Amino acid sequence: MIASMVPAAGAGWEDGHRFTTEVTAFLAARYGRWACGWDWAVGEGGGGGVVTSWCCTSHSVGESAATAAKVVASLLEWRDWLEELAERFAQLAPPAGADAEERSWHLERAATRLVTVVVDRTGAECGWYGLCRTVLTWFLTSTGMGPESAKEAVDAAVGGRFKSWTTPSRTLVDAVGEDLAVGLTGEQPYRDR
């Protein structure tokens, strides 16, 4: 099916964009919303994601069968990333019944580890911080927080402190983690764990 959707050789930007939009709609209809990140590639052409099997339409769209194979490889790579995140979220979640101080510690630890893994997987290339914000928001929603509240908490903690093509310092990553934890619990994470 995907091979039949590939635009003709020499097609313009609009046709390439239409192709990725149509492929995304097809994959999401067939597999679910999780498939929507299949083309979120590393670097400038991909918008700061983690997928390495796809770059952008100008570099990734070519002969029909090869392009379809790249889409499948990218979808599988994206799925692996999501499964990895689900495992990390389960490991990093504050335990049920945790008091505010313990919850703060777990949230700070989760944030610093998740920011670090996003930096590692994206190489802190162009737009990586968008995926970072998304991952932190997904983590908070996985702990039971509503999506809007999670997004607001992440926006408040991250602000505009992360930049394209810049690996954040350990101090900055720690500060974002602490700001997120304190913003959500009102408690400083304790350090003696």
Of 69, 73, 53, 86, whose CA–CA distance to 6 is shortest? 69
Residue 81 · residue 73 · CB < 8 Å:
no
State the pLDDT at residue 5. 85
Kindly report, residue by residue over 105-153, the tens digit of the pLDDT.
Answer: 999 999 999 999 999 999 999 999 999 999 999 999 999 999 999 999 9
Strands (E), the chain: none
pLDDT-based confidence at residue 191 (cuts at 50, 70, 90): low
Q: Is the pTM above the cut of 0.75?
A: yes
Residue 49 · residue 75 · CB < 8 Å:
no
Kindly report, residue by residue over 18-76, the tens digit of the pLDDT.
Answer: 999 999 999 999 999 999 999 999 987 777 899 999 988 888 888 989 999 999 999 99
